[in-house]
Structure 1
Amino acid sequence: MSVTTTGQESVSATLTFAAPAARVFAVVADPTTHAAIDGTGWVQQAADPEPLTAVGQIFRMAMHHAGHPDGDYETVNQVEVLDAPRAIGWLTGYEKDDGRLEFGGWIWRYDLVPLGRSETGVTLTYDWSAVPQSIREYLQFPPFGPDHLTGSLHHLAELVHARAGQ
């Protein structure tokens, strides 16, 4: 396991999984698994349970954070990268009162590198380099410690292993 902070505006962690890349990708591309993968406990459940299959696809997640003004809230996510089974990533934002979607400039990305037939190197990156100053004035980045990415990758590995036994 390695955790890396690259520059001042992204953090990543890498873990080797004892599973082929396609199996790992299938779990990450399933929004119903995101609450179990999340290392913070903020993700509650998928509001849109359909698998992620295309760049531009929108999916929503029910969230909870004690520091959020509403406590319970919903994020809107837009798939920005989808190269099965090598990479998947999404921007996170919200829906405005007028129905327009607004994204904050941070992206979650998983990169999968096959290490033979039955192992995959998985790197999870949280990148906030595109967050505008107006958002940086009231949100601190990253909003979690480095153990979040490590925990998320370990949760993902457990899910991948459990699904292999089904």
Structure 2
Amino acid sequence: MDQENVSATLTVAVPAATVFAVLTDPGTHSAIDGTGWVQEAADRAPLTEVGQIFRMDMYHPDHPNGNYRVANQIQVLDPPRAIAWRTGEEKDDGHLEFGGWSWRYDLVPLGPSETEITLTYDWSPVPQRIREYLHFPPFGPEHLANSLRHLARLAAPTSTT
């Protein structure tokens, strides 16, 4: 595969600020995830600044431990238009090591109550030493579309009747 990123786009009948608020709440990420790998947020503080670290508990049957934790670092935070983070792990000594892949949500307001959301997974900076044991992308093509549908459901206004 020559392309080193994949993306999906969905238009939702929800204001961009509402969608952005869901994305900046780490507690929603397991419900957004389209693979089922994200289990729950280990850090629940809202995402508010570039450089902020938030950790997520994960599960993958092919991971050596099954259960593991990732450390994500915010790289872009442009309310309500974009949020992106890179994913890595925290070593036993507290040092963070990032693998080179990142997640990015771009939100384009199409009016006061409609937003186009694009989710991009980029692995172009992943070094060869990691590519030798991890296949990219590590999920099927439906993952990003599923994640966007889950996000849309979480962000949609709920009926009070």
**Does residue 83 of the first structure (1) align with residue 88 of the second (2)?**
no
Distance 1:16 1:29 in 2: 19
Runs of 4+ in 1 over 3 A off after TM superposition: none
Partner of 2:92: 97
Partner SS for 2:99:
strand
Where in structure 2 are there 5+ consecutive unaligned residues? none
Aligned residue type for 2:135: Q
Partner SS for 1:115:
strand
Distance 1:112 1:129 in 2: 22
**Does residue 42 of the first structure (1) align with residue 23 of the second (2)?**
no
Aligned residue type for 2:57: A
**Does residue 144 of the first structure (1) align with residue 149 of the second (2)?**
no
Q: CA deviation at 1:161?
A: 1.1
Aligned residue type for 1:11: V
Distance 2:96 2:147 in 1: 27
Residues 38-77 of structure 1 aligned to structure 2 (within 5 Å)? 38-77=33-72
Q: CA deviation at 1:165?
A: 4.5
Q: Percent same amino acid among aligned pairs? A: 70
Task: Give the TM-score of the pair, scaled to structure 2.
Answer: 0.96
Aligned residue type for 1:13: A
* Structure-2 change in CA distance of 1:165 and 1:49 (3 Å): farther
Distance 1:95 1:48 in 2: 13
Deviations 1:87-140 (A, max 9, x none): 000000001122100000000000000001110000000000000000000000
Give me the CA root mean square deviation.
Answer: 1.3
Number of residues paired by the alignment? 160
Partner of 2:8: 13
Aligned residue type for 2:151: L
Where in structure 1 are there 5+ consecutive unaligned residues? none
Distance 2:94 2:17 in 1: 35
Distance 2:107 2:12 in 1: 10
Residues 121-132 of structure 1 aligned to structure 2 (within 5 Å)? 121-132=116-127
Q: CA deviation at 1:156?
A: 0.3
